[in-house]
Amino acid sequence: MTQKTSNQMWGGRFAAGPDAIMEAINASIGFDKRMAAQDIAGSRAHAAMLAAQGIISDKDAEAIREGLLTILSEIEAGQFTFSTALEDIHMNVEARLKEVIGEPAGRLHTGRSRNDQVATDFRLWTRDQVDAAIEGLKALMQALLAQAEAGADWVMPGFTHLQTAQPVTWGHHMMAYVEMFARDLSRFTDARARMNESPLGAAALAGTSFPIDRHMTAEALGFDRPAANSLDAVSDRDFALEFLSCASICAMHLSRMAEELVIWSSAQFRFVVLSDRFSTGSSIMPQKKNPDAAELIRAKIGRIFGANVALTMVMKGLPLAYSKDMQEDKEQVFDAADNLMLALAAMTGMVGDMTANRPALEAAAGAGFSTATDLADWLVRALGMPFRDAHHVTGSLVAKAEAKGCDLPDLSLTEMQEVHEAITDEVFTVLGVHNSVASRMSYGGTAPARVREQIARWKDTLS
C-alpha cells in the first residue's frame, strides 16, 4: 500500500501518517505552556533541595537556577519557541535548559518524575487561580456593599415566583448577594487549604531512593506540607475538581444576578440603568440598549459546569496511579478559570456602574398588594386574631381592593370594617411600604437599621 493511500483515512491534516497523529494526541504543550512559571518555580525548588541534600553540587544547582531564570525571561518576553515534538512544558524547559547550561541540566530530574512534576505544576497553577477568584469575589462584594449602603432605605418590591411578595429595601437585596458570594469566598478558601499539599518528590508513584527533603521543597513552594502518600500524590486531581465545583457554584450565583439585571434593565421594569460600558446597541433598532455583558455572564455557567463534569468523567474510572488520561485534566480547568475571572470582573464592573431607579423601585414596591402580610400581622397583634383567620380577612380585603381597582391603603376604613368591624384607623400605619420595611426588625430582616448593621459587619470583615 502506498503512503498516499494509507493516509487517506487520516485526511489532509495528518499528511505524515500515524506518527503525526500520535504526536498530535500525545502533545500537551499547546495548553500546558500556561504552567511555565509554575514549572520553573518547582524546578528551582527541587534543584535547591538536591544541592542542600548533597545529591548534586552547589555549582550545578547554581547553573540550573540561572538557566531556569533565563528561560523564564525568554518565555515572559515571548522569545521562547515551544516544540510539539517535546510534548509538554516540562520537556520543553528541560531541553532548553540543556542548550543554555549544558551537562548540569541533566541532573535536574534526579529524584523526581514527570508525574509528580506535572501534579505540582498543576496544583500551583490552580492555587493561583483560587487566589485570583478570592480577590475577585472580594472586589465584587465591595461593589455590592457600596450599592447597599447608598440605598439602605430605598424601598423596592421583594419577589417570590417573580410575583410581588413584600416590600424590601434595595440595600437588603444587594446584601443578599453579598451573603451569596461570601459563601463562594468561603468555599474557595476552604478548597485552598485542602489543596495546599506538595506532590513534589513522590516521583513516578513510589517515592525515590535518593535522600530528598520533601518538607524543604514544600515550604519553598508555599505548601503547608508534602502529600503523605506517593501514589495519591501523583494521581490526585481532587484539587482541580474542587476548584471547578467552587467555580460552578460561583458561576451559578453570577448567573442568577445577571438574570436579575437583564430583567431589571428592561423597559418593563426600569429598576436599573446599566452603563454604556457593559451594554450594546442593536444593528437595526436604534432605541435598543442590550445588557449583553449580563447575558454573557449568564451563559458562562454552561462552560464552567461542563468543565466540572468533563474532568469528573476523565477521573472516574482511573486505577492508581498515573494514567495518560490525566493529560486531559487541564484544558477545561484553564477555560473555566478564564471564564470565571472574566465573569467576576464584568459583574463587578456592572454593579459598580449601575444606577438604581429609585422612583421606579418605590412605585413598584407599593403595587400588587405588597403590604397584605403587614395587614395580616396587624390583625394578629392589634385584635388578637389567630393568624389563619387574619389571613382569611386580609384575603377578603385584597379581593375588595382588586374589585375596586385600587390598592389596600386606598380602601376607606368603612370599607375595611365591612369585612371585619373591629378594624380601626390604626391599620393605616402599617400599610405604607416604608412602614412595612421599617417594621421588619428581626435579625436578618429588611429594616434599614438591620441592613446597615450587616453592611458594617461585612465592611469590617473584608477590611
Cell of 113: 518524575
* Half-sphere exposure at residue 162, Cβ-oriented, CA atoms within 13 angstroms: 6
Cβ 273 vs Cβ 265: under 8 Å: yes
Query: Among the residues of 151-224, which ranges form H helices?
Result: 170-195, 214-220
Catalytic residue among 57, 73, 186, 282: 282
Q: Tell me the Ramachandran region of residue 275: left when phi exceeds 0, alpha when psi lies from -120 to 50, beta otherwise.
A: beta
Cβ 305 vs Cβ 246: under 8 Å: no
Cβ 105 vs Cβ 222: under 8 Å: no
* Half-sphere exposure at residue 196, Cβ-oriented, CA atoms within 13 angstroms: 17
**282 a catalytic residue:** yes
CA distance 224 to 218: 7
- Identify the burial level of 60 via C-beta atoms within 10 angstroms of its C-beta, where 0-12 means exposed, 13-18 middle and 19 or more buried: buried
Cell of 261: 439585571
* Nearest C-alpha neighbor of 157 from the set 168, 146, 148, 173: 168
Query: Among the residues of 9-88, which ranges form H helices?
Result: 18-26, 29-32, 36-52, 58-76
Cβ 258 vs Cβ 294: under 8 Å: yes
* Nearest C-alpha neighbor of 260 from the set 219, 231, 298, 299: 298
> Pairing state of beta strands 272-273 and 355-356?
antiparallel
CA distance 301 to 237: 21
Catalytic residue among 161, 283, 442, 463: 161
**439 a catalytic residue:** no
Kindly list the catalytic residues: 161, 282
